[in-house]
Amino acid sequence: MLKDMELLQFPDERLRRLSEPVENFDEELKLLSKEMLKIMYQSNGIGLAAPQINKTVRMIVLDVSEKRNEPMVFVNPRLEKVTGKVDSSEGCLSVPEIRATVERYKQIELCAQNIDGSEIRMKADELLSICIQHEIDHLDGKLFIDYVPNVKLQRLRKKIAKQKKLSSQKPQGTSVSIV
């Protein structure tokens, strides 16, 4: 399960695959969750879904704590109850350097399993609620930019294409910044 891990970037079509429910809560799943947390922290993210690293299983990891020391792992997460609406300025590790405003639910009730398969039920609001919703979208093959109106999306696509072109033109090797 730990083979073929890479942080996928939009427009990679593998980000659009539906994830399969987890049935085996084994050591391999625990190793995957640890690796996902490691990638998330190294990338300065607050959440990561398995599909973002080319794994089509229903697992997300996140840490919205200020000190970055409260990791959470949710397996087979689903929203049970949602209330209210809130606008959220979001970014994504799979769509780097792009931010967009997305309408999310203000409060959610989450039902999931922990890494051992035990049931978790919790209420969440604010950043935790938004992060959970964002990551569950990845499990369903959705990206935050899918919520952006078409006109704005076209501008975002052009910006992404331009950034990819510029990054491919950068010389290889070590770069030094003089401040």
Q: Are strands 95-113 and 59-62 parallel, antiparallel or unpaired?
A: unpaired
CA 105 distance to own-chain centroid? 17
Structure tokens at 25: 């809560």
Q: Is 135 a catalytic residue?
A: yes
In angstroms, the Cα distances linking 142 to 19, 25, 43, 124 are 11, 25, 20, 21
Structure tokens at 169: 């033109």
Structure tokens at 74: 């949710």
Residue 8 is classified by DSSP as -
- Helix, strand or coil, per DSSP, at residue 88: strand
Alpha-carbon distance 2 to 32, whole Å? 6
Asked whether the CA dihedral 16, 113, 61, 79 is positive or negative, the reply is positive
Alpha-carbon distance 107 to 113, whole Å? 19
Active site residues: 135
